[in-house]
A and B are shown apart, each in its own frame.
Chain A
Amino acid sequence: MKMTNTLMAIAAAAVLGFSTPAMASGGGAKLEHANIDVTDQEQIRRGLTVFTDVCMGCHSAKYITFRGLMDYPEIGLTREAVDELRGDKSLMSGLVSDLTVEDAVVSYGKAPPDLSLIVPGRRGGADYIYSLMIGYTHDPEGRVPDGSFNAVYPGNRIAMPDPLSWLDHEADETAELKQQAEDVSAFLAFIGDPHQNTRRSIGVWVMGFLFLLTFVLWRLKKEVWKDVKKH
């Protein structure tokens, strides 16, 4: 199967000839904009499902505990849903994959990174994650086998096999897969900084107070200074 893919890729490259401009070696394909909303509980929950069904096969998000899935209002799962999800794992355990590092190295050549901080930890953030999910394509130069070539990954050769089976998907699946990619990006953007919504909503009040304070102090300054003669 892999062999045929490779042959097809080579054939495709031969047909296209060398007229295809070489990809920038940095992986530098332009990032697609991910339409995400980290306050949208529906989207974050859908993203959580993608995460637990697909990503968690290999990746962990150890800073998010099962307890957190109940406690963060942006996720707000019920105790029953969490119990079903965690199986015999502790409520305080992080979302840790069952795949060991040793097995991952054998299968994929490297340990899959923890995804707790993947959005703040990558240039482009959620847009990068979204673009990466839908960035699997055929190597225009035919060097990298299918499933290992990603247009946005630095250096293009990625160890992670196409998680959403984006490559060669049926045309009618495009919208659904893009939605999954967006949802999981939203989930990862949320867990990258789980207090971000609280922070922004408090911030509005803080700024409001400070504008008021600045105005009062400005008037006070004017009042105190009014008898100082300008030169």
Chain B
Amino acid sequence: MLDKIMKTQLFAWVDKRTGAEAIIKSQLTEYPAPKNLNYMWNFGSLALLVLVLQIITGIFLVMYYKPSAEATLGGFTVAFDSVERIMRDVNFGWLIRYMHAVGASMFFVVVYLHIGRGMYYGSFKAPRELLWIVGVVILLIMQGAAFFGYLLPWGQMSFWGATVITNLFGAIPVVGELVSELLRGGFAVGDPTLNRFFSLHYLFPLLLVAIVGGHVHALHVVHSNNPEGIDLHKPEEMIPFHPYYTIKDAFGVAVFLLFYCYIVFFNPQMGGYFIEVDNYVPANNLQTPAHIAPVWYLTPWYTILRSFESKLLGVAAMGASLGILFLLPFLCKSAVRSARYRPMYQIMVIMFFVDVIILGYCGHTATTPVLKVVGQLATAYYFLFFVALPFLPKFEKTRPVPEGI
């Protein structure tokens, strides 16, 4: 169908003025992709899909949402009321809001799998270091956007989550108090906080779009890695992105939508993981919930924060745990990319994935002395993984890498 369109006169007219044909050829129909990519390579396009879904549903939500912490009847606020109006009175408002709330969690599901794939198959290694670094920037902006967004319904967990996180910045020496006051727009989380978080929640996705553009551009310069982690030179090892990977991605999208729509239509709270129970209670600054926990996708970092007695150390460790991701391409020195041919790295990276899940569990559950120690051990392994990487080539006997695919 695409080649038929490209033969029309209208297309010729557009092409003459934009060079559209050259772009389509170089980026799509003649863009070379390795023929052996497995289904782990689907999550990039899925992340793009969810980003678009979040922006579209978000735009519609903003048409009805009102960012105001002004009190209304029954201990509610204007913001909380407007969310409930969307859920109850706006035509299909419930669908748009559940799509957005579930989409936030699903965004992290696909992005974490995307990152995990990059780590396992060594996609961050030369020449793709910058591609990885841009990806980490995307992760941080996503986490920020999600955090800002979670305040908007102005429920108990919105309020207390924001209180805990903005307090963290107070631990930074010298400028800490100033930073947390700037974030909150006052001495405590309140109406000014809600308004600036709303503004930032609209800004960050726009940043995401721009940076995702950079991420895709960087990918199209260095091209995809592959499960074998080897450089491909022979033309018979490559296939054009379109139609092979467009159809494979489309199939991936359909499978993703099965999961996504099942949750949206049948279990939108996901047992309190996607929309927390406490967030159905309006924010009350005089009543702390029994157990404050961030949403699941932030809990691994929350555990790292809680693993230290000193608040400053905890904040520093949490910052370092995210910052160290930037250094991964430079810490990992082995010449072999894929974990398939790196027996020690393979075990370490799988343990790392399990470790992050353990960290997430510890951060979501009310802390007990045992869980605290588990969390501390998991935190230790998180950093040990990165620290051990530069020394790994000294001990690791890599398996022979295939010549081609």
Contacts and interface: CB of A to CB of B under 8 A. Distances in A.
A132 to B, nearest CB: 15
Given A63-B88, A96-B73, A207-B261, A121 B251 contact: no
Interface string B357-382: 00000000000000000000000000
A117 B281 contact: yes
Contacts of B248: 221, 225
Interface string A202-225: 110011001101100110110011
Contact of A120 (B35, B75, B254, B280): B280
Contacts of B258: 207, 210-211, 214
Given A111-B75, A123-B277, A218 B88 contact: no
Interface string B244-279: 100110110011011001101110010010000110
Nearest to A116: B84
A228 B405 CA distance: 12
Contact of A202 (B36, B76, B265, B290): B265
A143 B265 CA distance: 46
A154 B290 contact: yes
Contacts of A194: 88
Nearest to B95: A199
A53 to B, nearest CB: 20
Contacts of B75: 111, 113-114
A206 B258 CA distance: 9
Contacts of B235: none
A140 B233 CA distance: 79
B74 A62 contact: yes
Contact of A193 (B76, B94, B265): B94
Given A120-B269, A195-B94, A207-B261, A218 B251 contact: yes
Contacts of A120: 269, 277, 280
A231 B254 contact: no
Interface string A101-118: 000000000010110110
A217 B254 contact: yes
B142 to A, nearest CB: 26
B35 A228 contact: yes
B280 A121 contact: yes
A120 B268 CA distance: 11
Contacts of B74: 60, 62, 96, 114
A114 B265 contact: no
A224 B73 contact: no
B88 A195 contact: yes
A122 interface: yes
B48 interface: no
Nearest to B94: A195
Interface residues of B, number: 37
Contact of B265 (A113, A192, A199, A228): A199
Nearest to A122: B277
Range of interface residues on A (Cβ < 8 Å): 35 or more
A231 B87 contact: no
A200 interface: yes
Given A121-B277, A206-B265, A207-B258, A114 B76 contact: yes
A68 B85 CA distance: 13
B319 interface: no
Nearest to B237: A231
Nearest to B81: A63
B247 A221 contact: yes
Contact of A203 (B254, B266, B290): B266
A122 B258 CA distance: 29
B205 to A, nearest CB: 25
B19 interface: no
A113 B266 CA distance: 27
Interface in B276-328: 277-278, 280-281, 290
B405 to A, nearest CB: 5
A210 B87 CA distance: 24
B236 to A, nearest CB: 8
Contacts of A111: 75
A228 B244 contact: yes
Contacts of B254: 210, 213-214, 217-218
B243 interface: yes
Contact of A121 (B261, B265, B281): B281
Contact of B244 (A121, A122, A192, A225): A225
A96 B75 CA distance: 13
A203 B259 CA distance: 12
A111 B284 CA distance: 13
Nearest to A205: B265
10 contacts: A60-B73, A194-B88, A203-B264, A203-B266, A207-B258, A213-B254, A214-B254, A214-B255, A220-B247, A225-B244
Given A63-B84, A210-B254, 9 more contacts: A113-B75, A114-B76, A121-B281, A192-B280, A203-B261, A203-B264, A221-B248, A228-B35, A231-B35
3 closest residue pairs by CB, A with B = A203-B265, A121-B280, A214-B254
